[in-house]
Chains A and B, each alone.
Chain A
Amino acid sequence: DAGVIQSPRHEVTEMGQEVTLRCKPISGHNSLFWYRQTMMRGLELLIYFNNNVPIDDSGMPEDRFSAKMPNASFSTLKIQPSEPRDSAVYFCASSVVGLAGGNEQFFGPGTRLTVL
């Protein structure tokens, strides 16, 4: 199993540009989560999906952020326009909801975003 795949691994862009981060969850997983990690705020949940449907987007910081999950094997997180304060590591995680043993979230390697 390849695990959760994120692309790109590193992204450097200029303020005002559109940024799209991509995530492929583990095959068979039905929940997908986007987190952001910064030194100041630590790890924060941005949004999560169950069966491709957004369940809770209360962590999305502003309207500049949007996320989609068009199918079970792909999700995007878009920032438009980007700002320097969006610089962070963005993690995608997936899990299988409904297991009796609990729902371990498997994390991807992250995308390090730098907005200049």
Chain B
Amino acid sequence: AQSVTQLDSQVPVFEEAPVELRCNYSSSVSVYLFWYVQYPNQGLQLLLKYLSGSTLVESINGFEAEFNKSQTSFHLRKPSVHISDTAEYFCAVSSGGGADGLTFGKGTHLIIQP
């Protein structure tokens, strides 16, 4: 069985400040890791994913996440946030690279304060 823990349900930060959203997972098999973002009243959009290779993965809008196998973590970071980053962020794990269903964390609401 797999599980994902997002330690913070809400993270308030000031605009242009750095942010880290924490994600830990547990699994008995090799996993693939994902971060999805959900804007109000919308579906989920893939932000970035780790399948193999380099443990540091980046998105096109400045987010990055690092896979740490020893700590079973996949924390999401951004050096400088914008108001437009306000959203719900979900960490997810899959043993099939997304070919099977995703197991999601409870989500972290990122609140950007001006």
Interface size band for A = 20 to 34
- Whether B100 contacts A48 by the Cβ 8 Å rule is yes
CA of A35 to CA of B98 in the docked complex: distance in angstroms? 14
- Chain A, residues 76-115, CB within 8 Å of chain B (1/0): the string is 0000000000000001010101100111111111100000
Q: List 28 A-B contacts (CB under 8 A).
A: A4-B43, A31-B99, A35-B101, A42-B106, A42-B107, A43-B44, A43-B102, A45-B102, A45-B103, A48-B100, A56-B100, A56-B101, A93-B43, A95-B99, A97-B99, A102-B32, A102-B51, A103-B97, A103-B98, A103-B99, A104-B46, A104-B98, A105-B102, A106-B46, A107-B43, A107-B45, A108-B43, A109-B41
CA of A56 to CA of B94 in the docked complex: distance in angstroms? 14
A-B contact count (CB 8 A): 60
Instruction: Give A residues with C-beta under 8 Å from B.
Output: 4, 31, 33, 35, 42-45, 48, 50, 55-56, 59, 91, 93, 95, 97-98, 101-110
